[in-house]
Structure 1
């Protein structure tokens, strides 16, 4: 079976929660970013804390959770950004 290698980058609060800056996953072709996010949360349950307010990007472009992952992809997890 073929797999797609997904490189995941964690920023700000996501990086603080996981304690790492990146992780890789192998997923089946046709997997959505939502499916990939579910796999990441099963691996890093701490991300559940920010799940409802994070933004996803695929290859540096904002993407909905319904986006289908193709080829080699970078999926970034961007938590909410707050400022004063």
Structure 2
């Protein structure tokens, strides 16, 4: 089970900030989310969305351990 966190507009779109989802990999986690909410799944694949696994930015399809924390971060702006 992974602890999934959403921030900013991703949280607003989903209607939740934190949820526990059973998945063994990031792609499996995204598939589980897509099965529930296609609009959220599309947003998570959008440009600029980053993924942090246990507070470290990751790319690709990392494996998730029991108790992993996966945070989806919306595109950042600022100056």
> Within the alignment, does 1:32 sit opposite 2:25 as a pair?
yes
How many residue pairs align between the two structures?
77
Instruction: Pick one of 56, 69, 76 that aligns with 1:74.
Output: 69
Partner in structure 2 of residue 49 of structure 1: 43
For residue 45 of structure 2, give the secondary structure of its aligned residue in structure 1: helix
Distance 1:25 1:50 in 2: 15
For residue 77 of structure 1, give the secondary structure of its aligned residue in structure 2: strand
Partner in structure 2 of residue 22 of structure 1: 18
Instruction: Pick one of 4, 12, 16 that aligns with 1:8.
Output: 4
Distance 2:70 2:63 in 1: 11
What stretches of structure 2 of length at least 5 have no aligned partner? none
Q: Deviation per CA, 1:32-82: give whole Å up to 9, x if none.
A: 212212211222222213413211111111112311111211111111123
For the pair shown, the structure with the greater C-alpha radius of gyration is 1
Distance 1:81 1:9 in 2: 16
TM-score by structure 2 length? 0.81
For residue 13 of structure 2, give the secondary structure of its aligned residue in structure 1: helix
